[in-house]
Chains A and B, each alone.
Chain A
Amino acid sequence: MKSTLLVGALLTAITTTGAFAQTIKLADVAELSGGGATVGTNWKNGIDLAIEEINAKGGVLGRKLEVTHADSQSNPGVARAQVQKALDAEPYVLLGPGYSGSVKVTAPLAAEAGIAQIMGGEAAELTQAGNKFLFRTSFGQQSSMPKVAKYIHDDMKAKTVAVVWVNNDFGKGGRDVIIKDLEARGTKVVADLSTEAGQADFAADVGKIKAANPDAVFIYLNEEESARILKEIKRQGVTAPLMGETTLIGQKVIELAGDAANGARGHVGLTTDAPVDLIKGFRDRFNKKYNYVPDHNGLKGYLAVYMVKATTEKMGKVDPKAFADTLHGLTIKASEEPGILMDVTFDQNGDIDRQSFLVEVVDGKQLVKQVLPKLK
Chain B
Amino acid sequence: MSNLFDLLVAGLATGAIYALVAVGFTLLWQTSQTINFAQGEFVMLPAFLMLAAMHVGAPFWLAIILGILLSMILLGLAFKMLLVDPMMRHGVLPLAIATMALAIGIKEAVKQFFSAEASPFPSIVPTGDISVLGHAVSLQSIGVLVVAILAVFGLTTLLNRTSLGHQMQAAAQNPTVARIIGVPVERMILLTFLINAFLVALASLLITPIYLAKFSSGEVLGQAAFIAAIVGGFNQVRGAIAGGLLIGVLDNLAAAYVSTQYRAAVPMIFLIAVILFRPQGLLGRAEERTV
Contacts and interface: CB of A to CB of B under 8 A. Distances in A.
B280 interface: no
Given A198-B216, A200-B220, A207 B141 contact: no
Contact of B263 (A204, A207, A208): A204
A296 to B, nearest CB: 19
B212 A235 contact: no
A266 B39 CA distance: 39
Nearest to A198: B216
A199 B3 CA distance: 21
A235 B138 contact: yes
Interface string A195-206: 110111101110
Interface residues of A, number: 32
B10 A205 contact: no
Nearest to A255: B120
Contacts, number: 87
The binding surface of chain B is classed by DSSP as helix
Contacts of A208: 3, 256
Given A194-B260, A203-B10, 8 more contacts: A204-B256, A204-B260, A207-B256, A235-B138, A235-B141, A257-B120, A259-B127, A260-B127
Interface stretch (A46-54, A93-101, A118-126, A224-232): A224-232
Interface string B107-144: 00000000001111000000101000000101011000
B238 interface: no
A12 interface: no
B71 interface: no
A205 B217 contact: no
Contacts of B254: 204
B251 A196 contact: no
B272 interface: no
Contact of B138 (A198, A207, A236, A257): A236
B117 A252 contact: yes
Interface in A250-309: 252, 255-260
B211 A200 contact: yes
A63 interface: no
B214 A224 contact: yes
Contacts of A232: 210
Given A194-B260, A204-B252, A237-B138, A256 B216 contact: no
A256 B214 CA distance: 11
A234 interface: yes
A255 B119 CA distance: 8
A203 B2 CA distance: 14
Contacts of A252: 117
Nearest to B141: A235
Given A210-B3, A210-B6, A235-B138, A196 B217 contact: no
A361 to B, nearest CB: 15
- Residue among A167, A207, A228, A232 with the most chain B CB within 10 A? A207
A372 interface: no
A237 B136 contact: yes
A194 B261 contact: yes
A207 B260 contact: no
Nearest to A260: B127
- Residue among A210, A256, A257 with the most chain B CB within 10 A? A256
Given A198-B216, A228-B211, A235 B6 contact: no
A174 B227 CA distance: 36
B111 to A, nearest CB: 13
Contacts of A203: 6-7, 10-11, 14, 252, 255
Nearest to B259: A194
Nearest to A227: B212
Nearest to A259: B127
- Residue among A193, A200, A227 with the most chain B CB within 10 A? A200
A81 interface: no
A81 B198 CA distance: 52
B208 to A, nearest CB: 10
A7 interface: no
A200 B260 CA distance: 12
A105 interface: no
A227 B118 contact: yes
Contacts of B118: 224, 227, 256
Contact of A258 (B10, B120, B220, B253): B120
A204 B210 contact: no
A196 B220 contact: no
Contacts of B255: 201, 203-205
A113 interface: no
A334 interface: no
Interface in B1-40: 2-3, 6-7, 10-11, 14
A211 interface: yes
Interface string A230-244: 011011110000000
Contact of B260 (A205, A234, A237, A259): A205
Interface string A204-218: 110110110000000
A33 to B, nearest CB: 16
Contacts of A210: 2-3, 6
B254 to A, nearest CB: 8
Interface in B223-263: 251-256, 260-261, 263
B260 A256 contact: no
B212 A211 contact: no
8 contacts: A201-B252, A203-B6, A205-B255, A207-B7, A224-B118, A235-B141, A236-B6, A236-B10
Contacts of A227: 118, 120, 212
A122 to B, nearest CB: 20
User: Top 8 closest A-B pairs, CB basis?
Assistant: A204-B255, A203-B10, A204-B256, A211-B3, A200-B211, A235-B138, A224-B118, A256-B120
A319 B232 CA distance: 74
Given A210-B3, A237-B138, A252-B117, A224 B212 contact: yes
- Residue among A198, A201, A255 with the most chain B CB within 10 A? A201
A198 B118 CA distance: 11
